[in-house]
Amino acid sequence: MSKVRKAVIPAAGLGTRFLPITKSVPKEMLPIVDKPTIQYIIEEIVASGIEEILIINGRNKESIINHFDKVPELEALLRAGGKNDALKEVEAITNMAKIFSVRQNEAKGLGHAVLCAKEFVGNEPFAVVLGDDIVYHDGKPALQQMVEVYEAYGVSVIGVQQVAPDQVNKYGIVSGTKVAERVHQVNDLVEKPAIGTAPSTMAILGRYVITPGIFEILEHTGKGAGGEIQLTDGLKTLATIEKMVAYDFIGKRYDVGDKLGFLEATVEFGLRDQKLGADFRKYLETLLA
């Protein structure tokens, strides 16, 4: 079985849920405390043992690539000023991983975005990690858990968590048969089912390990929910050809592509921050007293 060596981050969506800021700033560059959301994603990928990363970019998204590029003037300035902690942090961002990018010329959907990774991926299993879903963990990163499930079963793995029954229409939903603790064999997938019609409350949450058979399928997948080429529809077809499992990953997940989810992440990561946490907690307590 091939090792999972590559990850794809689709980041070409228009971010309409987060307008007006996303008119000019990619949502992947919005900071949670002091890091852009995409840096949390790349840190998770690297911590999971994957070092080759392809970012699927769209228009107005150059700042994402710039963030991971070297800035010699800044490094020289920090070095001269003896600001070693800041220097280390800035250098670490550049050295974190091998980052590549490709442009999705039109936001035709997540399935179409993943298809743009075909040449980069080639004929091996790969991870897909969505920037909208940040997962906090104090143990094993969510993606590492997924890779281990891939290594155990040798089939595509879809990351899921349970959501409330009135939230199913926001997600791809998995119908499956339990085969082990936290693992279901996938029988069917449905993208954004109407409330009351979903086969389960197992929602697909932005983490996948997929076999390369998906590419040929996506080439022939038509528009689905929302008039977009949906990854869920491609995976649904793949599940009829190959076995596939859903894995209920451990970790607290935040939907940072949504305004409320973003605020929740900001507050909780702020409270966890080593330098700011205690003062921020005091501030919130005074505010809410």
109-117, 156-164, 213-221, 270-278 -> range binding ligand UTP (CB under 6 A): 109-117
Question: Which of 10, 36, 172, 224 touches ligand UTP (CB under 6 A)?
Answer: 10
- DSSP code, position 228: S
Pairing of strands 31-32, 35-36: antiparallel
Closer to ligand UTP at the Cβ: 130 or 174?
Answer: 130
Q: Is 108 in the site for ligand UTP (CB under 6 A)?
A: yes
* 181, HSE (Cβ side, Cα atoms, 13 Å): 2
Count residues binding ligand UTP (CB under 6 A): 21
User: Per CB under 6 A, does 13 bind ligand UTP?
Assistant: yes
Question: Residues 45, 55, 110, 202: which binds ligand UTP (CB under 6 A)?
Answer: 110
φ and ψ at 246, to 5 degrees? -110, 135
The correct pick among 4, 6, 7, 15 for binding ligand UTP (CB under 6 A) is 15
Nearest CA among 219, 212, 155 for reference residue 186:
155
Question: Could you give the residue ranges of the DSSP H alpha helices within 106-176?
Answer: 110-115, 118-121, 142-153
> CB 266 → ligand UTP: shortest distance, Å?
18
Q: Nearest distance from residue 17's CB to ligand UTP, in Å? A: 3
Are 182 and 160 in contact, with CB atoms under 8 Å apart? no
Helices 84-95 and 72-80: crossing angle in degrees, nearest 10, is 160
The C-alpha atoms of residue 266 and residue 126 are separated, in whole angstroms, by 30
- With CB under 6 A as the contact rule, the residue among 4, 7, 8, 12 that binds ligand UTP is 12
Nearer to ligand UTP, 17 or 182 (CB): 17
Element (H, E) at 214: helix 214-219
65, 90, 102, 107: which one binds ligand UTP (CB under 6 A):
107
- In the bound state with ligand UTP, the residue whose beta carbon lies nearer, of 87 and 173, is 173
- Give the residue, chosen from 104, 145, 156, 161, that forms a contact with ligand UTP under the rule CB under 6 A: 104
